[in-house]
Amino acid sequence: MAAGDAIGVVYSVTGKTYQNYQPAAGVEICITNFAYQDAANSYIYLYDGANEAAILKPTSTVSNNASPVKVIISNSVYIRFYNDAVGAKTLGFSGIQLK
């Protein structure tokens, strides 16, 4: 992919597990939207391999939510999804590659 390309990522995250999205070294992405099947039990974090900072925490059980944002990620600070439910949940994001 190259700078200016659109990026879309969708994961089916198994219950009680994490799923990371970490760009390759030298790649930066501006995330413009997070999407989730159901906000209940769905967490989205910025993650540096050791520390998590919450972007989305559970607030409701409304289905098919989307959350517009501007978050820049790289190989050293990236996205971590967590599904605290028993069954799988769909979580993802869309954005633009900056470099």
Q: What is the pLDDT of residues 81-95, one digit of tens each?
A: 999 999 999 999 999
In whole angstroms, give the CA distance from residue 95 to residue 6. 6
- In this prediction the pTM is 0.88
Identify the CATH number of the domain defined by range 6-97: 2.60.120.230
Q: How do the domains of the chain map onto residue ranges?
A: 6-97
The per-residue pLDDT for range 10-26, each reduced to its tens digit, is 999 999 999 999 999 99
State yes or no: pLDDT of 30 exceeds 90.
yes
Tell which phi-psi region holds residue 48, choosing left (phi > 0), alpha (psi between -120 and 50) or beta.
alpha
What tokens does 11 get? 């994961």
Residues 32-71 have pLDDT tens digits of 998 888 778 889 999 999 999 998 877 655 555 566 789 9
